[in-house]
Structure 1
Amino acid sequence: MEPEPESRLDPRYSDEGATAASWSDAVARLEQAELFWLTTVRPDGRPHVTPLLAVWQDDALYFCTGPAERKAKNLAANRNVVLTTGRNTLHEGIDLVVEGEAVRETDEPRLRRLAEAYETKYGSDWHFDVRDGAFHGEGGEGHRAVVFRVAPSTAFGFGKGVYSQTRWLFG
C-alpha cells in the first residue's frame, strides 16, 4: 500500500470553513462506487467518454473492455485517462476525478483476484474466467475483455453542500 498523499484544499473553489477531504475517505468512495465515467482521447484528438464498471484494488482502479471497442482503440494511441464518479446531485455528496495512465494488466493471479472482486461487487452477471492474460465471459471468444490498471497521478474531490475542492498528488 502506498503512503496516503497529502490532501490540499483549494480555497479558490471552496466555501469558507470547508476542510480538505481525506484520501482514505476518497478510497472508500471509490471502492463503493458502482458506475464510473471513463474519458479517453481518440487518435484524432477528440475526447471520448463512456460509462463503465471499475474496481479499486492494490492502490488503483481497474476496468475492462473488449479489445475492439472504441476505448481500447483510443488507449492503443494514448494511455492518459480520467475516471470520474460521484452523485448526480448539486447539494450533497462528493464527486471524484482520478487522472492517470491506463496500463494493460495481464498478470493472471492478479486478474483472478480482480475477476473475484468484480463478481463480489457487481454480482454473478459479472463473472469472468481468466486465461491468456484477459477476462472471458460467457459466450466464447466474443466476450473477451482486456483489463487496464489506472494508478492515480492526480485526483480531485469536489464536495457539495459545503463546497470544496481537494487535490491529491501522487509520487
Structure 2
Amino acid sequence: MVEKEPVGELDPRFSSEGATAIEWAQAREHLVDAEVYWLSTVRPEGRPHVTPLLALWHDDMLYFCTGPTERKARNLAANAHCVLTTGSNMLNKGLDLVVEGEAVQVDDDGRLRRIAAAYESKYGSDWHFEVRDGVFHNAAGGTALVYEVAPTTIFGFAKGEYGQTRWRFSA
C-alpha cells in the first residue's frame, strides 16, 4: 500500500510548452474508473505478450485475475515484471496511464474475498467469484489466480495540451 501520495514530475522533453504535472488525485481517479486495461508480460523466450483484461485499483494496488494455464499466468511464473496500461484511444483528449511493477500472486482467502467483492462492485454480478483454496472460482466451474501489482513507477500522458508526468513509488 502506498504510504503517502506520490509527487508527479513533469518531463518537459515530452510535454507541451506551459504544461503542468498531472495531479495524483486525477491519475488515481482514472485508475479506479478504468474498465479495460492492457497487460504486457514477457514470454520465456523473450518475446512480448499483450492482452486486454479487467483490473481493479484497490488499496493503492492494481489487481487482475487469469486462469492458471493462460499465457499471461505462465509468463508471470517465469518473470513477474509487467506493465498495465489504460486510457483513451483519442488523440487530443484524455489521459493514458502506464503502471510498471511486479505481479505477485495473492492466495490469502481473506484478502481474496475483499478483492472478489471489489470486482463484483465494479463490474457487476457477471464477475462474481467464490473464494476457496487461494483462488477465485466462477459459476462455470473455472478457477483464476489473482495477482497484485504494487506500482514502482506510473507514467501519465495527458493529451491535447500534451504532458508526461511520472510518479515513483517506494518498494
TM-score range normalised by the length of the shorter chain: over 0.9
**TM-score normalized by the length of structure 1:** 0.97
Mapped contact 1:2–1:59 kept (Cα < 8 A): no
Q: 1 CA distance for matches of 2:160 and 2:137? A: 42
Q: 2 CA distance for matches of 1:139 and 1:125? A: 11
Alignment correspondent of 1:137 = 138
What SS is found at the alignment partner of 2:89? coil
What SS is found at the alignment partner of 2:112? helix
Q: Which stretch has the larger CA shift, 18-27 or 39-48?
A: 18-27
Q: Over aligned residue pairs, what C-alpha RMSD do you find? A: 0.7
TM-superposition CA deviations, 1:114-155 (whole Å, max 9, x none): 111111111111000000011000122xx1000000010001
Alignment correspondent of 2:105 = 104
Identity %: 66
TM-superposition CA deviations, 1:71-130 (whole Å, max 9, x none): 000001000000000001000010000000000001111111111111111111100000
Q: 1 CA distance for matches of 2:137 and 2:127? A: 10
Where in structure 1 do 4 or more consecutive aligned residues deviate above 2 Å? none
Residue correspondences, number: 169
**TM-score normalized by the length of structure 2:** 0.97
Q: 2 CA distance for matches of 1:59 and 1:2? A: 9
Where structure 1 has 5 or more consecutive residues not aligned to the other structure, the ranges are none
Alignment correspondent of 1:15 = 16
What SS is found at the alignment partner of 2:151? strand
